Structure 1
Amino acid sequence: MKFKIQSTDSLSKARAGEITTDHGSIQTPIFMPVGTAGTVKAVHQREIKEDIKAEIILGNTYHLYLRPGLEVLEKAGGLHKFNGWDKPILTDSGGYQVYSLAENRKINEDGVTFRSHISGEKMFFSPEIAMDIQRSIGADIIMAFDECTPYPCEYDYAKNSMELTHRWLKRCCNHFDQTTGLYGYSQTLFPIVQGSVYKDLRKQSAETIASFEREGNAIGGLSVGEPHEDMYEMTELVCGILPSEKPRYLMGVGTPENILECIALGIDMFDCVMPTRNARNGMLFTTQGIINIKNAKWQDDFSPIDEELGGYVSTFYSKAYLRHLMHSKEYLAPMIASVHNLTFYLWLVKEARNHIVEGDFNSWKNKMVKQLMQRL
C-alpha cells in the first residue's frame, strides 16, 4: 500500500491524498460504508459503485468468522470474490464486537475467550488468530487486535488495556510479517491507538504505535459516548504524533460535523454505521440539514429528497413518496434512505477534498458544520 499527500490546507491540518492498493486507489479524505456481514445493509453493489461512488468498504472479522465462516470465504477466493466487490476492502479485527456482543468474555494475556452471540458456542480470539482470519477474508487493509475501552472508564483500566493492546500489537505484527496473503495480492496492517480520554495515555499510545512504522495507523476508542470536545482533543493530540506521511484512520466516526472537524485535525479515513442505521429509522442527512422523513410536514412535499446532492436516488424520489414507504413499512424505504445517506457522506468527503485542493477548506467547513446539523 502506498500513500501520497497531494494538497494541504493552510488554515488547518486537513490534507487531500491518495491511497493505492492492489484493488485500486482511494482519494482521501474518504468515508467507508460499513458492510458488517459482507454487505452494506439494503444496498446493491452496483449502487455502491455507481450512485454512492464508494471507493472502499468495510467488513467485520467477528461477523464474517461466524457467518459464512472461513471455509466458505476461502473456497470463494476471499471476500472480494464472495460479494462481488472488486475495489479495496478494510476489515476491523473483531475486537470491538467481541467486547460488545459476545457473552461471558474473558480477557487475558493470550487473548479473549467468548461465546458467540448467535449460537452460544465457546470461541477464542488471539492476536495471531485475528491475523489469520483477516488473511482468509482477504481485505486489503486489516486491523490489529486490540481492546476497545468503554466510556467512561477508570484511568488504571485504560492504562492496563492500552498496554495489553500494545503487547498484542507486537504479536500481530510478528505473525502478520511471517505469513502471506492467500489470494495473490498484498495486505496492509494498521495498528490502533488507544488510551480512552487520558492525554498522557493517548500520547504514549500514539508514540508506541508510530514506532512500529506500519504503512498506516488508526485511532480507536473514540465515538463511544464521550463528549465531542474530548474526541476532538484526543484526535488533535494523536494526529500531532502519528507520522504525517501515512494515512490516519479514525474508527467509528461519525456525524457530518464530526467528520468535517476531524478532517481539519488531519484525519484521512472514516467509517460509521450512522448513515445506514439512521436511514432505516427515517433520518436523512442532506446538503441543507437533517430530515426526519417520518414527520407529517413531508406528507405532501413532492420535491426530490435532495436535488443539490445529485445521484439517481436523491433526485428521482420525492420526500412524500419516501415518507409513504416508511409508514407503509415497505422494504424499498430503507433501501432508498440508505443509498441517499451514503451518497451524502461520500459527497461530503469529496467536497471536503475539493475545498482542500482549492485552498478554502477552513471557511467552507465552518459554514457547512452549521448548515448540515440544522434540523429541517
Structure 2
Amino acid sequence: MQCLLLGGRIGDDIMFEIVASHGNARAGILKTPHGEFETPVFLPVATKAVIKTLTPEEAWEAGCRGIIVNSLHLYRRGMELIERAGGIHEFMGWRGFVMSDSGGFQPIKKFPSEVGSDGVAFLMPDGKPDIFTPEKSMEVQEKLGVDIALSLDDCPAYPYTRERVAESVDKTIKWAERCQGRGRFAILQGGTFEEERVRCAKSIAGMEFDGFAIGGLCIGEPKEEMHRMVEATLPYLPKNKPRHLMGVGSADDIIRGIKMGIDIFDSAFPTRNARHGTIFTDNGRINLGRAKVRGDVIQDGCNCYTCRNFSLDYLNHLFKEKDPLGPRLATIHNLFFTNKVVEEAREKIKQEKL
C-alpha cells in the first residue's frame, strides 16, 4: 500500500492511496476536501458548471463522484456569482469533488482565443481582450474553490507538425514551472511524437504537483497512436501519484487505460452521445429516433433510473418526438453505464482478475 499526503490552498487535505494493484492497474482512494472517492474514477464534463440536461443529484445517482469544469469559460461569464455563493460546489449544488481545466485546450475549439508566448489570449463577451497567464489561471481556479486545478498548457490542434509540437512542449514545461503547488495537477503534452512525450514527462515529473494529466490526445489522432503515447509516458511519472488521461470516455478506451495504469478519466463522450440519441449497452450502441429500434429492455441488468422506469420503445419515442426528456434519460443511462464499467474494473483489480 502506498500513501501520498497532499494539500494546499486549492486542494487542502488531499491524499492518494493505492489500495490494490494488478499488473499496471491500480485501485485507490482519492481523499479531497469534499470526501473520499475510489479510483479509477470517471469525470463527466461540466464545462460551465452544469452536466448538460441533468441536475447534480441526478448525476450523483448515476454514479458520478467528480466532475471537471472549465475555468476559462467560467471566468468569461463572470466570477462574481460563484464567489458570492462561496465557490463552485455551493454555486451548482455539487457534493462530489471538482477538477478544473486551465483553458489551454480552448484555442483548438471554436473559441475566440489564441496561444501566445505568455499564455492564452482571448476576448471577453464584451469584446475586451484578456489573457490567462499561468499565474492568472491558477488564481482563477483558486477563486472557483475547486479541489484540483490543472496547470496551463499549450495543446496543439491535430494534425500538427513536429515543430509545432516541440513548441507546445516547451511552453507547457515553462508554464508548469509557474503553476506548481499543492492541489494541482500538471498537464503533459507531446502530440504523437514519443520523444516529445518523454521529454515533457521527464521535465515535469519532478516538479511540485500532486498528480499528472496526459493531455493532447483523443483529438483526432488514430486510436492506437493515443494508446502508444500513454504507454510511452507512464513509465516516467511517479507511481505514487494519480495519473489522469484527459478526453477519454469510451468503455473500451477506459478499460485499456486502466490496464496501463490510469486512475482518472474525463470526457464529454457519454453525455454528448446521449444528447444526440446514442445510448451505450454491453452489446454495442443503439441509435435512438429510428423506426427500426424496438424493445422493452434498454440494457439487461442495468439499475439506472432510466432502465428501471422506462422501455427502449419509450426512449425511442421521445427522440422521435424531439422531447427534451429523451436526452435527459439517455444521459442518465450513459453516465451510469460508464461509471459501472469503471466500478467493475476497480473490483476486478482488487480481485486480481482484470
TM over 0.5: yes
Alignment coverage as a number of residue pairs: 341
Identity %: 39
Q: What displacement does 1:208 show?
A: 1.2
Is contact 2:44-2:66 (8 Å) kept? Answer: yes
1:246 counterpart SS class: coil
Of 101, 108, 113, which aligns to 1:92?
Answer: 101
Measure how far apart 1:33 and its partner are.
1.2
How far off is 1:102 after superposition?
Answer: 2.6
Give 1:198's aligned amino acid.
Answer: F
> 2:156 is paired with a residue of what secondary structure?
coil
Counterpart residue type for residue 116 of structure 2: N
Are 1:115 and 2:123 matched, yes or no? Answer: yes
Distance 1:106 1:222 in 2: 19
Query: Secondary structure of 1:95's partner?
Result: coil
Q: What displacement does 1:106 show?
A: 4.2
Matches within 5 A, 1:184-263: 188-263=183-258
CA RMSD of aligned residues (A): 1.4
- Once the 2 structures are TM-superposed, how far is the Cα of residue 295 of structure 1 from its aligned partner? 2.6
C-alpha distance in 1, partners of 2:47/2:263?
A: 21
Per-residue deviation at 1:119? 4.6
Tell whether 2:162 aligns with 1:155: yes
Contact 1:25 1:55 in 2 (8 A): no
Q: Secondary structure of 1:157's partner?
A: helix
Q: SS at 2:81's partner residue?
A: helix
User: Is contact 1:6-1:16 (8 Å) kept?
Assistant: yes
2:84 to 72, 75, 78: 75
Task: Output aligned runs, 1:262-277, within 5 Å.
Answer: 262-277=257-272
CA distance in 2, matches of 1:33, 1:129: 25
- Aligned residue number for residue 68 of structure 2: 58
Q: Which is helix-richer, 1 or 2?
A: 1
Runs (5+) with no aligned partner, structure 2: 1-13
Q: Which amino acid aligns with 2:278?
A: M
Aligned mates of 2:310, 2:174 — CA distance in 1: 52
CA contact (8 A) 1:287 1:308 kept: no
Query: How many angstroms apart in 2 are the aligned matches of 1:233 and 1:110?
Result: 30
Cα pair 1:304 1:315 within 8 Å, conserved: no
1:171 matched residue in structure 2: 178
8 Å Cα contact 2:16-2:29 kept in structure 1: yes
Which of residues 302, 305, 309 in structure 2 aligns to 1:309? 302
Following TM superposition, the consecutive aligned residue runs of length 4 or more in structure 1 with deviations greater than 4 angstroms are: none
- For the residue of structure 2 that corresponds to 1:298, the secondary structure is coil
Q: Report what 2:138 is aligned to.
A: 131
Change (3 A) 1:106 1:333: closer
User: CA separation in 2, counterparts of 1:167 and 1:206?
Assistant: 13
Contact in 1 for aligned 2:213/2:243 (Cα 8 Å): yes
TM-score relative to the length of structure 1? 0.88
| Structure 1 CA distance for aligned equivalents of residues 65 and 230 of structure 2 | 24
Q: 1:305 to 1:119 in 2, by over 3 A?
A: farther
Counterparts in 2 of 1:160 and 1:339: CA distance versus 1, 3 Å: same
Aligned counterpart, 1:29: 40
| 3-state DSSP of counterpart to 1:309 | coil
Aligned letter for 1:58?
I
User: What is residue 181 of structure 1 aligned with on the other side?
Assistant: none
- Does the CA-based 8 Å contact 1:62-1:98 persist in structure 2? no
